[in-house]
Amino acid sequence: MADTPVSRRSFLGAAGAALAGAALAPGHAVAAPYVLRRSPSRLCAVASSNGLRGVAKAVDMMTQGADTLDAGVAGVKIQELDPTDQSVGYGGLPNADGVVQLDASCMHGPTKRAGAVGALEGIKTPSEIVQLVMKYTNHIMLVGRDAQRFATSYGYPIEDLLTPASREAWLHWRANMSATDNYIDVPGSEKLVKTTTGTCPMMLVNQAGDVSSIVTTSGLSWKVPGRVGDSGIVGAGQYTDNDVGAAGSTGLGECNMLVCGGFSVVDNMRRGMHPKDACLATLKRVMAMIPARWVAPNGRPTFQLQYYAVNKAGVYGAAAMTASPFAVCDEKGARTEDCAVLFS
Ligand code: GLY
């Protein structure tokens, strides 16, 4: 079934504000918003590859009528509670002080609401906390100690998120930081965990064409304490427009934040791009916007960055700086596929 733009009548209804803006700015070409509609929509969840179990769970829930964001929270929570996933929630790699600080954010397309937390400590499931911020406050983002107090007010216990494996990885990183400090280097590089930027974003659309997105992470390992990455920022780590679709990211958050990547991908889809092409176009924008220290002499990025997207019709796509898998679940079941790449 081909994707079709909505009729001119529907288009005018959905995009009146944009057209009004265009009328106020004569001489400036404004790309026509392109709102996809297909009835019924194709139910779909797309995520980073560690979200494979999560997309299966989310699609199962949406098939039974669950709300898209409820399904997304249930999906990413699997990774948050998995101590072996060192990029998310419990067991996530800590900051330079050995403290696990978590970022997360979400958007609920049908109600046009969002929630976010930054540098949240001691709470295993920040995905649930961002949904509470969204549902029960007039705000969008809470940070640090007060985000934790908000979580405990809803009954969440403060727990030690550092698993023995994550603590050991941090101790090795600290020991090998400098050859001149008083920590004796751990011999052999095999025990060193490289700096990681893992994350678990999930974008979802149900049969009614309602869209949501959520992302959760322990962020860049060994980061400067207090650093909040793209996952905590609505419009960067994830973004949803219920008329268009949703997008999210993994990888070096700083580079994504420079282009508001989640918003950028959704805006590309609004202009009619296929989700995969929308992701690739935003990666190109990243390369144009980042400072020179993140570009190697051969012009390639020194970091990884991935975008994942689904449009309102349930058409999905993903793209990465270099080869990387992603997870998707639709009527064909849960599986991993390869992202399109900007640099092969
Ligand atoms: N994308 C995860 C982070 O940079 O924090």
Domains of the chain, start order = 44-341 (3.60.20.30)
- Which residue has the CA at smallest separation from atom 5 of ligand 1? 219
Mean of pLDDT over the chain: 89
CB 318 within 8 A of CB 308: yes
* H helix count then E strand count, the chain: 10, 13
Q: What token pair was written down for 179?
A: 């050859």
User: How many angstroms separate the alpha carbon of residue 237 from the centre of ligand 1?
Assistant: 8
pLDDT tens-digit map of 59-116: 999 999 999 999 999 999 999 999 999 999 999 999 999 999 999 999 999 999 999 9
pLDDT tens-digit map of 158-183: 999 999 999 999 999 999 888 888 88
Residue 3: the pLDDT is 39
Q: What token pair was written down for 81?
A: 């509670």
* DSSP letter for each residue of 165-229: HHHHHHHHHHHTS-SSSSSPPPSSGGGPPPP----EEEEEE-TT--EEEEEEE--STTPPTT---
Residue 191: the pLDDT is 57
Which residues have a catalytic role annotated? 199
Mutate to test the pocket of ligand 1, among 231, 234, 255, 257 (most ligand atoms within 8 A of CB): 231
User: How many angstroms separate the alpha carbon of residue 250 from the centre of ligand 1?
Assistant: 6
User: How many angstroms separate the alpha carbon of residue 103 from the centre of ligand 1?
Assistant: 8
- Residue 251 CA: which ligand 1 atom is closest? 1
- The rounded distance, in Å, linking the Cα atoms of 325 and 320 is 9
User: How many angstroms separate the alpha carbon of residue 197 from the centre of ligand 1?
Assistant: 5
In the predicted model, is pLDDT for residue 151 greater than 70? Answer: yes
- Residue 227 CA: which ligand 1 atom is closest? 5
Residue 326: the pLDDT is 98
| Mean pLDDT across 219-229 | 97
Mutate to test the pocket of ligand 1, among 256, 258, 307 (most ligand atoms within 8 A of CB): 256
Q: What angle do CA 322, 81, 113 make, to 5 degrees?
A: 75
**Phi, psi values for residue 79, rounded to 5°:** -75, -40
Residue 90: the pLDDT is 96
CB 58 within 8 A of CB 329: yes
CB 280 within 8 A of CB 266: no
User: How many angstroms separate the alpha carbon of residue 231 from the centre of ligand 1?
Assistant: 6
Rg, C-alpha atoms of the chain: 20
pTM for this model (two decimals)? 0.88
Between 4 and 37, the more confident residue is 37
Q: Which residues line ligand 1 (CB under 6 A)?
A: 197, 199, 217, 219-220, 229-231, 250-253
- Residue 198 CA: which ligand 1 atom is closest? 2
Residue 193: the pLDDT is 66
Using DSSP bridges, classify how beta strands 340-341 and 316-320 pair: parallel, antiparallel or unpaired.
parallel
- Residue 249 CA: which ligand 1 atom is closest? 1
Is the dihedral angle over the CA atoms 87, 92, 98, 103 positive or is it negative?
A: positive
